Structure 1
């Protein structure tokens, strides 16, 4: 008697939300774009995938610069999960050129206020640092190259802790050559932030947790760029109790130093 045929075992598949390919991550592709390329490669072959890869990178715009930092560095360096850039408003026209605003930034100038408030958010300054070498304040080769091209002469950072211990924020102010350089930087960071960002300041009172969810924005102001970086102290995504809008506005209180320079440049006096 012939035995019944053996049943084939079904193969199970597993998914993970952290799926990524280091090389594609290094080039600045999002995880969705990485998955798309992997599917195309499995269906149509490597040649077609290569063509599509060229198209996807090209569609990011001329400002996209492939990140040359190692995959290991990219995976371990803190960076924001979301970013939005804003070009310089017309009110900063008096300081469109650094030569119109030659006085160097100081920590006392930028972080004169130790406590910043907005709505129910209260931030307390937990640490500051000024670097004449802008590359010391950031990571990522593409971003380093961009700052060299922009004539960056100073990077000023300040990290804040919320009074209730719930949030952490960092503000970085970059002193560049002109408005065109500042506008180009905040726009290029739309993709470049995946492979390069400001280094977090070390502080016992305020720290971005490794692997935690953070959000950021870049603001061109004449020849300056302000980088806002915010998140929950526990690294979780924002919930109903987390007012990230007020948190962002609070940390931007450091920009009062830039507004003082606009007034000084317009009146012909030193800040």
Structure 2
């Protein structure tokens, strides 16, 4: 039995909703919030964003795509649990890259150096913006899929909690369209065993190679956001660890996507 097979499985958490106070905290004006409500209403959905639900493992705990090299798997940290979520209709205005052609910048995505959720406070340690996306990930299967998805940018940021207990990394991928983003986050259910984002390091903010971590993928129009979190010491979460708040905190980087929805669907 492999090491990953011995990891205990975690039950899914309920999916919290995002309300107007959340959007206000993220810097959206009241007018922008109303516009998002209209966009969501027209699409037939409430203004809500699917948040991290840490899954019960992927297909077969010992499954590794055959295209992943043994050397890469042995030297690159990867999540032990992953769950993917397709794009909500809220992001329909940016379903195509051509509707939102302005390139991402690190200033856009990681403008806030401190992110908070509940008792969790994250401080940004390092960022990196890659073009072409292949340099931001490992695993040939994942590299190939990103190429097929028309990935033009990968923005990564790594955070450490103020108390030094947690580490979190957020990666935002700029893809061709919603179909490509949906396909990516779903395929990673199995693909993450043999390919994942490369970890950034900054002081104490780094993922231990053999430590326990969890991840999720969130399609948002033509973007895909990858969340990766864990304890800094690599231990599995205990009863006092709030991984839901940790994931919500690092997803604060996604406010750039909400602003692009507003820009792509201005008030009439």
TM range (shorter): 0.7 to 0.9
Structure 1 counterpart of 2:106 = 107
Tell me the alpha carbon deviations over residues 36-92 of structure 1, each in whole angstroms, 9 at most, x when there is no partner: xxxxxxxxxxxxxxxxxxxxxxxxxxxxxx441211221221100000000000000
Structure 1 counterpart of 2:245 = 246
Q: CA deviation at 1:109?
A: 0.3
Structure 2 counterpart of 1:237 = 236
- Preserved contact between residue 63 and residue 193 of structure 2 (Cα < 8 Å): no
Structure 2 counterpart of 1:182 = 181
Residues 175 and 71 of structure 1: CA distance in aligned 2, closer, same or farther (over 3 Å): same
Q: Residues of 1 paired with 2:244 and 2:182: CA distance?
A: 22
Q: Residues of 2 paired with 1:19 and 1:230: CA distance?
A: 16
Q: Residues of 2 paired with 1:86 and 1:101: CA distance?
A: 21
Partner-residue secondary structure (3-state), 2:3: coil
Instruction: Give the gaps of 5 or more residues in structure 2.
Output: 6-57
Structure 2 counterpart of 1:261 = 260
1:145-184 to 2 correspondence within 5 Å? Answer: 145-184=144-183
Residues 257 and 247 of structure 1: CA distance in aligned 2, closer, same or farther (over 3 Å): same
Partner-residue secondary structure (3-state), 1:69: coil
Q: Residues of 1 paired with 2:174 and 2:63: CA distance?
A: 34
Q: Residues of 1 paired with 2:135 and 2:188: CA distance?
A: 18
What count of residue pairs does the alignment treat as equivalent?
216
- Preserved contact between residue 2 and residue 62 of structure 2 (Cα < 8 Å): no
Partner-residue secondary structure (3-state), 1:170: strand
- Preserved contact between residue 67 and residue 192 of structure 1 (Cα < 8 Å): no
Measured on the aligned residues, the alpha-carbon RMSD in Å equals 2.0
Q: Residues of 2 paired with 1:113 and 1:196: CA distance?
A: 29
Q: Residues of 2 paired with 1:122 and 1:239: CA distance?
A: 18
Q: Residues of 2 paired with 1:203 and 1:179: CA distance?
A: 32
Larger helix percent: 1
Q: Residues of 2 paired with 1:199 and 1:216: CA distance?
A: 13
Partner-residue secondary structure (3-state), 1:129: strand
Partner-residue secondary structure (3-state), 2:265: helix
Q: Residues of 1 paired with 2:160 and 2:220: CA distance?
A: 25
Tell me the alpha carbon deviations over residues 2-22 of structure 1, each in whole angstroms, 9 at most, x when there is no partner: xxxxxxxxxxxxxx65389xx
Query: TM-score, normalized by length of structure 1?
Result: 0.76
Q: CA deviation at 1:112?
A: 0.7
1:13-162 to 2 correspondence within 5 Å? Answer: 18=3, 30-31=60-61, 66-162=65-161
Q: CA deviation at 1:161?
A: 0.3
**Runs in 1 of length 4+ with deviation above 4 angstroms?**
31-34
Q: Residues of 1 paired with 2:213 and 2:4: CA distance?
A: 19
Instruction: Give the gaps of 5 or more residues in structure 1.
Output: 1-15, 21-27, 35-65
Q: CA deviation at 1:245?
A: 0.2
When Rg is computed on C-alpha atoms for both structures, the one with the higher figure is 1
- Preserved contact between residue 67 and residue 140 of structure 1 (Cα < 8 Å): no
Structure 1 counterpart of 2:227 = 228
Partner-residue secondary structure (3-state), 1:108: helix
Residues 109 and 71 of structure 1: CA distance in aligned 2, closer, same or farther (over 3 Å): same
Partner-residue secondary structure (3-state), 2:184: helix
